[in-house]
A and B are shown apart, each in its own frame.
Chain A
Amino acid sequence: MEFILVVLAVMLAILLGWLLKQSFNTQPWVAEVVEEGAHRAPMNANAKVIALAALLAVITSFFALIMSAYALRMDLGDWAPLTEPQLLWINSGVLVLASITFQWTRNAAMRGDASKLRPGMIVTGVLTTAFLIGQFVAWRQLNASGEYITSNPANAFFFFLTGAHAVHILGGMYVWARATIRLFTGRGAQTVRQSIELCTVYWHFLLLVWIVMFGLLLST
């Protein structure tokens, strides 16, 4: 459980650090005019950014807990390390590419370069879908070689971790799909821009989760 504790400590420290920067050392009983904006969120972020940050904290906690359970379960006698399919390296590359293209799309959106948005979104979507399909194929390869979820706790964790990661990507794809549809129907240009911005962060985050997870799977 050390892993989750470290992760939590970091997240709580960030929250606490920010709270400290607020008016903690004022004497709250003194009625005085406070400066404009003191009631605002950190870094002038808007509500959606804060909500996304909180959501990412929740997801971090979720994955950190699974990995902590992984570490605890690994120490029990019957653990037989799983040889991960080579395909996962290709999948990882695809996911990295998806993050890059999303970032590229986002930069275009920030610049107001509308012509690059549609191709950018499509390419990102294709790459991400390819990643999901690749993950599914990797599962099939494992099953074909006789590695089932029940064969060993290492297998069970492999399927659980990759499955949970894929579900989170699917959740992201839902928002991506809404943004893309809006992009093509031309409604709500402003919100599309923000959707792209937030989705990019989410994609990078899930890439990071994947890298940590993949590293853990490879090293054990």
Chain B
Amino acid sequence: MSYVAIADRDHEVEHHDPQTFITKYIWSQDHKVIAVQYGMTAIFVGVIALILSAMMRLQLGFPDSFSFITPESYYQFITMHGMIMVIYLLTALFLGGFGNYLIPLMCGSRDMVFPYLNMLSYWVYLLSVIILLISFFVPGGSTGAGWTLYPPQAIMQGTPGVDWGILLMLLSLAVFIVAFTMGGLNYVTTVLQARCKGMTLMRMPLSVWGIFMATVLGLLAFPALLVSAIMMLLDQNLATSFFMPAISSMGADPGYTGGSPILFQHLFWFFGHPEVYIVALPAFGIVSDLLSTHARKNIFGYRMMVWAIIAIGGLSFVVWAHHMYVSGMHPYFGFFFATTTLIIAVPTAIKVYNWVLTLWEGHIHLRVPMLFAIGFIFTFIHGGLTGLFLGNVTIDLPLSDTYFVVAHFHMVMGVSPILVVFGAIYHWWPKISGRMYSETLGKWHFWMTFLGTYAIYLPMHYLGFQGVPRRYFAMGNTEFLPASAQDLNAWITMSALFVAASQILFFANIIWSLTRGPKADPNPWGATSLEWQTPDTPPKHGNWGHDLPECHRWAYDYSVPGYADDFIPQNVPPDEAPAGRQHDVDEH
């Protein structure tokens, strides 16, 4: 370990910029390049998962119409769709992508404290993605056990991919966890150690707070997934009985004795529930910054927001079994976990109130990132409130394992974070690329995504009320369902295809921007946080040129009375009048 944290050697002004294309863009140790690598890889697998979801929606909307969708492939689609979206897209994008890009810039440091480890983290992540993609092509195909990979079914016959598919899936997860741990140690250490002078914890933008807390959760929770993956691999390959009870599988005795499938579920959800917040907390943080910047108003109740992030993070470790109310675990756990789960609603609600109150008496610029941010609040309120149904143990009885669950977690963990992802990309794109994008295309993209996803998921809740179970390849002739339920399914599929297709606008916008986009102002939104104050746009290697910035205020000095400008960057000293540029970008 021959490298020393860059922030520890401020005196070394000479930064050796990487010279060749390869060291600059491939084997790069620059956090910004690694962030883009993470982001591109995550979005690439995300597109694969999106295509998989389109295929499964085709089957659900128009059953028995597509010969290439068999029950086998359908269950493989849902499994890989879920796993990719949760782990390889959202976790990697928020922490590996935004975490990498934003932490050093927002904290005012030159890079992550361990750049080499950071680079390694990306390449190991890429390896996990490759292993995952290989599993599509091995004999038997990828696993079709559902993204929760519950044993015994994940490794017993009757499920696709019980030989190679599940093996590669577990292996890929283990490799991913290694990659995440490398990255996570970096993010935590950088936040704790490498902040610039004056950047106290309570002056950090909420994006950093959200990413930091999510990383802490990830570091402590991912080991649970690793432990369960190793134990399942042992059960599968060495015939141990950690999770495998004595069973009779299709008339044959596979030779297991005494294990407990519920043990796996405990371990899985001990990881799985914090995982929800690993995705949600960065989204919470980022959306706070988007709202504040574009409403030209400080985030309302900053301290409460920080406390809420910490409280949600801590509580997220004691709610896991609300995924298991009807799993057959001891029913008395239901009382405890229903209570903790509904308690977590309180800090979450406070965050929502504070976002909305940030808009109150603000000066709202409805630019593309702001549209996505407000769209997020709407979908998150919806998804959060339906969570109160499922978290309440009694209501979970009729609704668990139905489309209500699917609709709920897609609303809260699919649509909401993805709206933030797009909002964040549009927000920081000028800084990342140095170019502006098309506002018109961006708005079209927002409207089609936002309205389209609501058209998918609002009706889906009602299929759940009706009792339509999730993970059904086809409903067939089910008496208690009216024929119109199938029409609703067809409508949902049409909406889903519409949303999937409309993502082309996003990529078109990116391409347009990179080829023809006008050069971006260094601080086009008039934002206060440090990443907008870099000497170069996009920031060069080392971020800050000769001197590290000094931080003199929090990140939310918008519309401070007595100043001409409606924002004061964090690096402006208290006694200095803010630079005179009257900020006003008209866009309507």
A–B contact via C-beta, under 8 angstroms: yes
Please report A residues at the B interface, Cβ cutoff 8 Å: 1, 4-5, 8, 11-12, 15-16, 19, 22-24, 26, 28-29, 31-34, 36, 38-42, 45-48, 50-51, 54-55, 57-59, 61-62, 65-66, 69, 72-73, 76-79, 149-150, 153, 156, 160, 164, 175, 178, 188, 191, 195
Known: A5-B318, A47-B193, A156-B234. A55 touches B553 (CB 8 A): no
- For chain B, the bracket of interface size reads 35 or more
Question: What are the 5 A-B residue pairs with the smallest beta carbon separation, nearest first?
Answer: A78-B258, A31-B553, A62-B223, A47-B5, A156-B240
Chain A residues near B199: list those with CB within 8 A. Answer: 39
Chain A residues near B266: list those with CB within 8 A. Answer: 1, 69, 72
Q: Does B263 contact A (CB under 8 A)?
A: yes
A149 in complex: contacting residue of B5, B188, B240, B298, CB < 8 Å: B240
Known: A69-B231, A153-B241, A195-B1. A47 touches B260 (CB 8 A): no
How many pairs of A and B residues are in contact by the CB < 8 Å rule?
169
Chain B residues near A55: list those with CB within 8 A. Answer: 181, 185
Give Cα distance in the complex from A23 to B556, angstroms: 17
B198 in complex: contacting residue of A22, A34, A69, A188, CB < 8 Å: A34
Chain A residues near B263: list those with CB within 8 A. Answer: 69, 72-73
Q: Which of B200-208, B373-381, B399-407 contacts A (4 or more CB under 8 A)?
A: B200-208
Cβ A23 vs Cβ B200 within 8 A: yes
Cβ B114 vs Cβ A51 within 8 A: yes
Chain B: CB-nearest residue to A191: B2
Chain A residues near B317: list those with CB within 8 A. Answer: 5, 8, 12
Cβ B553 vs Cβ A76 within 8 A: no
Cβ B241 vs Cβ A156 within 8 A: yes
Chain B residues near A160: list those with CB within 8 A. Answer: 230-231, 234
Give Cα distance in the complex from A79 to B263, angstroms: 15
Chain B: CB-nearest residue to A26: B202
Q: Which of B208-236 contact A (CB under 8 A)?
A: 216, 219-224, 226-227, 230-231, 234
B408-450: CB near A (< 8 Å → 1, else 0) gives 0000000000000000000000000000000000000000000
Cβ A29 vs Cβ B554 within 8 A: yes
Complex A-B: 12 CB contacts under 8 Å: A24-B201, A26-B200, A28-B200, A28-B202, A29-B298, A32-B574, A38-B200, A47-B5, A65-B224, A65-B270, A76-B259, A188-B2
Cβ A29 vs Cβ B557 within 8 A: yes
Chain A residues near B227: list those with CB within 8 A. Answer: 62, 65-66, 69
Cβ B188 vs Cβ A54 within 8 A: yes
Give Cα distance in the complex from A5 to B317, angstroms: 8
Chain B residues near A164: list those with CB within 8 A. Answer: 230
Cβ B192 vs Cβ A50 within 8 A: yes
B125-162: CB near A (< 8 Å → 1, else 0) gives 00000000000000000000000000000000000000
Give Cα distance in the complex from A133 to B312, angstroms: 45
CB distance from A29 to the nearest CB of B (A): 6
